């Protein structure tokens, strides 16, 4: 049995008796005129069906797995490439393939006798449009599937490790090729080149390439400015491989040498990175890893006199927040900000073997903060991808250096 069939079987056993699940694939999205954005299948749909096309709906109960999809069409296929058609859904494990054009008529009949219809929350509106008169109870599938997706199988780990390796190679390439006068988008091109050369056809998210003051903008992705001598550049870039994300940040000097102030701030973030990674232990809560990073960053800023007060006060009154305003990490998988982080009550879920989290502390000193000028416009984040194991943790992104001396050596060769 392939992994997709196993997942469907596992899921169908979790659902209440007399239930059916209805899953929706992604739709094409127009970019402009008659040009679409590159198509990306819905992560949950892909996880459970592996069916790659838009305009697809899957219906799943204990015995049946039905796929509604586009019909084959010679003329369309001449322009846009092969359409699988209902006749080929068998290859994906379907017990029956039906044209999507018949869905409105056939679906209500197919599901009318089930007491419960499970569906992801994001597609409840679509479901109600297709089944306006249903008497079944509509229930969310999200938590059940999120729990499954949170723990990665051997097959998934193999893909994510390869994605992390490719992204690490891209960061190494960028450190070797950056120089003053280059545009941020030219450095971005080095990443895309490395991703594609190794078979990763997409970025997991828009790359953030921010030099100087742009390094202080968390999700900066204009990537349009010149990289200046004496500035740092923060790059948050990761490839997507077979739908799985990697998510790495490194911050390095455009001219290859950290200044005194850049070094001081970098060492604080580096310490936070190492100690927070050590807090990624099965049974421990992500809150603890976050608190570790907050303590180290707050103490470091106090030592440099960029913050005033004592440690407890700085933490309790959130004074550190002007410099460090995000969480230390998030789960990683089919989505870069993956599902499975919180339980039904909204609490953070403890780490378990097979989960992958990012650890990404940062300090961002924007020019409006009341600090000496030489610290302004320094933005530093160090982000790694960390697998929770039985024995502890495994850093999947340690191919790319993060010690100052290692970065400087790499950049000088």
Which residues are near ligand GLY by CB under 6 A? Answer: 205, 236, 247, 330, 336, 360, 383
Q: Is 360 a catalytic residue?
A: yes
Q: Tell me whether residue 136 or residue 221 sits nearer to ligand GLY (CB atom).
A: 221
Distance CA 141, CA 11 (A): 9
**Least distance in angstroms from the C-beta of 204 to ligand GLY:** 8
Q: Is 198 a catalytic residue?
A: no
Cα gap 60→73, rounded to integer Å? 26
Residue 338 binding result from Mn ion, ligand GLY, none, given CB thresholds of 5 to 8 Å by partner type: none
DSSP 3-state of 394: strand
Of 303, 304, 269, 276, which is closest to residue 404 (Cα–Cα)?
Answer: 269
Strand residues in 261-413 grouped as ranges (E): 356-359, 362-365, 378-381, 384-388, 393-395
Q: Which lies closer to Mn ion via its Cβ, residue 58 or residue 386?
A: 386
Q: CB–CB of 263/231 below 8 Å?
A: no
Q: Minimum Å distance from CB 341 to Mn ion? A: 12
At residue 297, what are phi and psi to the nearest 5 degrees? -65, -45
Query: Are the C-beta atoms of residues 238 and 248 closer than 8 Å to each other?
Result: yes
Binds 299: which of ligand GLY, Mn ion, none (CB < 5-8 Å by kind): none
For this structure, is 92 an active site residue? no
177's CB contacts (< 8 A; 6+ apart) are 187, 190
Closest listed residue to residue 84, CA positions, set 50, 52, 37: 52
Residues that bind Mn ion (CB under 5 A): 236, 247, 358, 383
- State in angstroms the smallest separation of the CB of 390 from ligand GLY: 27
- To the nearest whole angstrom, how small is the minimum distance from the Cβ of residue 237 to Mn ion? 8
Active site residue 290: no
Instruction: Please identify, using beta-carbon distances, which residue of 56 and 249 lies nearer to ligand GLY.
Output: 249
Whether 61 sits among the annotated catalytic residues: the reply is no
| Residue 219 a catalytic site member | yes
Q: Which of 13, 17, 34, 154 is catalytic?
A: 34
CA angle 365, 366, 370 (to 5 degrees): 80
CB neighbourhood size of 33 (10 A):
6
Nearer to ligand GLY, 8 or 402 (CB): 402
Which residue's CB is nearer to ligand GLY, number 107 or number 245? 245
Q: Which is nearer to ligand GLY, 319 or 326 (CB)?
A: 326
Q: Is 383 a catalytic residue?
A: yes
Residue 361: CB minimum distance to ligand GLY, A: 11
Could you give the CA distance from residue 32 to residue 36 in angstroms, rounded to a whole number? Answer: 7
Among 47, 118, 220, 364, which one carries the catalytic annotation? 364
As a whole number of Å, the end-to-end CA separation of the chain is: 49
**Residue 53: which of Mn ion, ligand GLY, none does it interact with, CB under 5 to 8 A by kind?**
none
Is 243 annotated as catalytic? no
Please state the closest distance from residue 265 (CB atom) to Mn ion, in A. 19
Which sequence positions are flagged as catalytic?
Answer: 34, 219, 236, 247, 326, 330, 337, 360, 364, 381, 383
């Amino acid at each position: 049995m392939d992994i997709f069939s196993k997942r469907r079987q596992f899921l169908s056993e979790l659902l209440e008796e007399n239930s059916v699940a209805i899953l929706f694939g992604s739709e094409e999205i127009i970019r402009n005129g008659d040009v679409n954005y590159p198509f990306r299948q819905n992560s949950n749909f892909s996880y459970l069906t592996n069916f790659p096309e838009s305009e697809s709906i899957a219906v799943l109960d204990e015995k049946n797995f039905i796929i509604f999809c586009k019909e084959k069409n010679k003329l369309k296929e001449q322009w846009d490439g092969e359409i699988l058609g209902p006749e080929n859904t068998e290859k994906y494990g379907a017990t029956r393939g039906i044209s999507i054009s018949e869905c409105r008529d056939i679906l209500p009949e197919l599901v009318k006798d089930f007491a419960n219809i499970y569906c992801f929350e994001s597609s409840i509106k679509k479901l109600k449009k297709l089944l306006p008169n249903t008497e079944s109870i509509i229930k969310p599938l999200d938590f059940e599937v999120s729990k499954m997706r949170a723990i990665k199988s051997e097959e998934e780990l193999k893909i994510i490790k390869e994605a992390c390796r490719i992204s690490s190679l891209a960061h190494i390439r960028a450190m070797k090729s950056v120089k003053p006068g280059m545009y941020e988008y030219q450095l971005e091109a080095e990443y895309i080149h490395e991703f594609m050369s190794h078979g990763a056809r997409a970025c997991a998210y828009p790359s953030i390439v921010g030099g100087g003051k742009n390094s202080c903008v968390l999700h900066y992705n204009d990537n349009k400015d010149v990289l200046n001598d004496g500035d740092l550049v923060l790059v948050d870039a990761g490839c997507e491989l077979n739908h799985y994300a990697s998510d790495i940040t490194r911050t390095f000097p455009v001219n290859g040498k950290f200044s005194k102030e850049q070094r001081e701030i970098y060492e604080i973030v580096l310490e936070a990175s190492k100690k927070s990674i050590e807090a990624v232990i099965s049974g421990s809560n992500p809150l603890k890893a976050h608190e570790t990073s907050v303590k180290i960053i707050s103490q470091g800023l106090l030592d440099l006199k960029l913050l005033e007060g004592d440690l407890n006060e700085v933490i309790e009154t959130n004074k550190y927040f002007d410099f460090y305003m995000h969480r230390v990490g998030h789960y990683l998988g089919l989505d870069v900000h993956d599902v499975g982080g919180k339980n039904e009550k909204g609490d953070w879920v403890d780490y378990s073997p097979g989960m992958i989290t990012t650890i990404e502390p940062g300090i961002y000193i924007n020019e409006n903060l009341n600090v000496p000028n030489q610290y302004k416009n320094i933005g530093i984040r160090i982000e790694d991808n960390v697998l929770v194991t039985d024995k502890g943790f495994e850093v999947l992104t340690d191919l790319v250096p993060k010690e100052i001396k290692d970065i400087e050596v790499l950049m000088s060769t």
